[in-house]
Structure 1
Amino acid sequence: MPFARAVVAAACLLGAAAGPAFATEPAPATAYALPETETWDLASDDGQPYRILVSRPAGEAPDGGFPILYVLDGNAMFAAFAEARRIQGLGSSGLDKMIVVGIGYPGGQVYDPRRMSDFTAPIETPVLKALYASAGGRDRFETFLLEKLKPAVEKRYPVNPYRQTLYGHSLGGLFALHMLYTRPGAFRTIIAASPSIWWDNQAILAEERAWRTRVEQGAAPTRGTRLLLIAGEREEEGAIAEDTAALGRRLAALSGQGLRSDLLILDGETHLSVPHRSVTAALRAAARWP
């Protein structure tokens, strides 16, 4: 080949071999932001800060407003719920036509230590008192949720006051059951995933018994209330799967008083894998009407 062409060919070969040495610097990376989401902070009356994470559909709200799903442990759960809601817009299920509100905490921890206080009552079992000194702030968190967060959300977004759902997992699931038993009407649908019924020597059972008595006497309104219980087949922590299934059997008897309850046992799932596997079922439960 002519000398000039040979020089060009050799240069190309050498350049290919030594390419990385001459490559430009990669563009700086930036944080990924979930589409159709926004975040803002809200403090409780005693100054405890919460990070509020919101996923909302584009477009106008339906008549009466959007259904709304409140998700506890927002740092850990929100992203899965937000993207699952958004992707449903590619189909015709209508599951994207709701607002998801994750209740989280400032900072990057997946499970913030403050959840121990927020989701539990004062401990009665002596050995647990020593282990979990921060537990017992449930009443304060309940006040924040019902009297501060919900009104703030309803001022910002067009939500349907009759189509509101609360989702909690583990200790969050225990808190969700507490809301069912003690605050009827606060949420139309309660989703308790892997509820820690074992906590504090099963102290939640006393609340259940008192609530069942009121329901059977007609003193606790349940008509139209929905409950979805979820557990993983392989959950061994505190016999969670067994406790959840037993609760489902007990509450099935209340269908005559208008409680609509369902039990979902997820095959092969463990305590930490239940939340993401439960997302679609939770969205369906939140969207169900009437």
Structure 2
Amino acid sequence: MRRLALAAMVALSALAGPASLAAEPASPQPATPPPAAAYAMPDTEVFDLTARDEGGGGDGGGGGGQVYRIFVSRPSAPAPAGGYPVLYVLDANALFAGFAGERRLEEFGKVAGGGVMVVGIGYPTDQVYDMQRRLYDLTPPWPAHMPPAQAAMAGLKAGGNENFARFLLGQLRGEIAGRYPVSKERQSLFGHSLGGLFALHMLYTRPTAFEAIVAASPSQWWNDQSLLTEERAFAERLQAGRIDGPVSRVLVVAGERDTMGAIAVDADALSRRFDALSAYGLRTRHAQFDAEEHVTVPTRAITPSLRFVAGAF
């Protein structure tokens, strides 16, 4: 009898086991975290601007309804008398964040570059570069005979630099002046690679349009160095005293390993030619960054560029 009772108790325990386990509260599962928000850097703004037709090239850039994405990093301090100095930065999708972060840090540290308003000119894309748009906007037309080094690019559209120049100096400058208290006299330009080629084009063809120009790793090799023709014409005008108004100050930078198209060598040679023009009023600086390659030059150039534009380099 006792054996039967014991067996019954064991059987009941076995039957009750799963039920008792089921009755236990389940372990709390961790809550799914909400999705992270995108980071927006303080003191920055962005807007799109549709270019008007500035006189030709409506299917490429700088006119004819093309949309540009404009990035702005504005000092938090009130504008000084006369307005903020402005630095226009080309290829802003790639470069604006670096300039904006450094500008903000320098403002915190009360360094001169912190008082410069950075205006980046980019394109409506989340990619680092819009290669086709920038190729058109920043370059002169293809030559009659394509250089062998550029033969693979023959099917791409180039030659919109004059349309882009008109957009930059006309519509964009007017838009910025209407939105922000900026100085009309203290406006500068930064360009890297093809942007540096464009920056030098602006110096040679419109030598008083900017207070300062930074040409970082400029692609002077483009179109078999056709830019040299513009450079010689600029030098002749400067030496003859045929440029009215103050000529842009110029900073030329490159990397020690900036070997594509002999960019570092060409930048050094350019700086020496510029030195020869100092007697005619051209103020220039040149820097070569140790161990930097073509794609890393802009990051190293940010601090000296902001200080050069602010007049502190």
TM-score with structure 2 length normalisation? Answer: 0.83
Identity of aligned residues (%): 51
Question: In structure 1, how many angstroms separate the alpha carbons of the residues matched to 2:170 and 2:88?
Answer: 14
Within 1, Cα distance between the matches of 2:185 and 2:129? 30
The match for 2:139 among 112, 120, 123 is 120
TM-score, normalised to structure 1, is: 0.90
1:8 corresponds to: none
Matched, 1:191 2:198: no
**Aligned-partner Cα distance in 2 for 1:121–1:197:** 12
The reply on whether 1:275 has 2:298 as its aligned counterpart is: yes
Corresponding residue for 1:169?
A: 192
Question: 1:151 is aligned with what amino acid?
Answer: G
CA distance in 1, matches of 2:232, 2:88: 26
Query: What is the correspondence of 1:87-126 to structure 2 with a 5 Å cutoff?
Result: 87-112=105-130, 113-124=132-143, 125-126=145-146
Q: CA RMSD, aligned part only?
A: 1.8
Partner of 1:34: 41
Q: Is the Cα contact below 8 Å between 1:171 and 1:195 reproduced in 2? A: yes
Whole-Å Cα distance in 1 between the matches of residues 173 and 110 of structure 2? 29
- Aligned partners of 1:98 and 1:34: how far apart in 2? 16
Identify if the C-alpha distance between structure 1 residues 288 and 213 changes in structure 2 by more than 3 Å, giving closer, same or farther.
same
Structure 1 residue 256, shift from structure 2 partner: 1.2
Cα distance between partner residues in 1 of 2:66 and 2:110: 40
Change (3 A) 1:289 1:276: closer
Are 2:153 and 1:131 equivalent residues in the alignment? yes
Preserved contact between residue 230 and residue 266 of structure 1 (Cα < 8 Å) = yes
Correspondence 1:47-58 to 2 at 5 A = 47-58=65-76
1:283 to 1:23, Cα distance in 2 relative to 1, 3 A: same
Q: Which has the larger radius of gyration?
A: 2
- Which is further off, 58-67 or 164-173? 58-67
> How far 1:109 moved relative to its partner?
1.5
Structure 1 residue 200: deviation in Å?
0.6
User: 1 CA distance for matches of 2:153 and 2:248?
Assistant: 36
For residues 153 and 116 of structure 2, the distance between their equivalents in structure 1, rounded to whole angstroms, comes to 40
Q: Deviations over 1:102-154 (max 9, x none)?
A: 00000111111200000001011425466243111111111111111011101
Residues 45-85 of structure 1 deviation map (CA, whole Å, 9 limit, x = unaligned)? 21000000000011310011111000000100000000100
Residue 263 of structure 1 corresponds to 286
Q: Is the 8 A contact 1:229 1:248 kept in 2?
A: yes
